Amino acid sequence: IYIKIANSVPRVVLGSVFIIALGLGMASKVALAVVMVFFVVFANAFQGVREADRSMIANAQILGASPFQITTSVIIPSAMSWILASLHVSFGFALVGAVVGEFLGAKQGMGLLISTAIILAVMALVVEFIITRFEDYVVKWRPAPFNEQGT
């Protein structure tokens, strides 16, 4: 319930709180980006753990697996698709958090902010490509997406 309460607080308010608590430096911007990313990743990881196949967990228990082995061999791999899917969205939120933090406590002008936005866009494309490749590597077992053949 505490996660839901914390998630309901508007991020702009948290940005202002972080600037007051941590100052105008990098720490407040990083804190805002972390908070924006945390809730997306947490919600997806939580759902991924809840979606773990109960019959696989029961089979692992029957075979004598310890709780640690069940977690590392069944639950985490099952949740990995959810977690990796959240990384695509959460990276964009991290960039938004950094930009909002810069707007709230900027030390430089708008020209620098615009040039930074271009760099962030390029960086977002590169990181999205890396996350996709990492996801393909980690979840090799997942079937390829269905591609409809044109006639």
Query: Mind listing the pLDDT tens digit for each residue in 95-149?
Result: 888 777 777 766 666 666 666 777 878 888 888 899 888 888 888 776 766 666 6
Query: Residue 110 and residue 91: Cα distance in Å, rounded?
Result: 23
| Nearest alpha-carbon partner for 105 in 32, 7, 8, 10 | 32
Number of residues in the chain? 151
Structure-block tokens of residue 75: 């639950």
pLDDT value for 65: 94
Residue 150 lies in a domain: no
Q: Is residue 35 part of a domain?
A: yes
**Number of domains, the chain:** 1
Is pLDDT of 54 > 70? yes
The parent domain of residue 32 ranges over 2-138
Q: Would you say residue 148 lies in a domain? A: no
Q: Does residue 105 form part of some domain? A: yes
Handedness of CA 8, 37, 11, 13 (dihedral sign): positive
119, 68 Cβ separation under 8 angstroms? no
In a domain, 73, yes or no: yes
Q: Is residue 49 part of a domain?
A: yes
Query: 58: alpha, beta or left, given left = phi > 0 and alpha = psi -120 to 50?
Result: alpha
Flag whether 147 is in a domain. no
Separation in Å, CA 137 to CA 7, 129, 130, 141: 31, 12, 11, 9
Report which of residues 42 and 19 the model is more confident about: 42
Find the range with the poorest average confidence among 61-65, 77-81, 87-91, 118-122.
118-122
CATH of the domain at 84: 1.10.3720.10
Tell me if 111 is assigned to some domain: yes
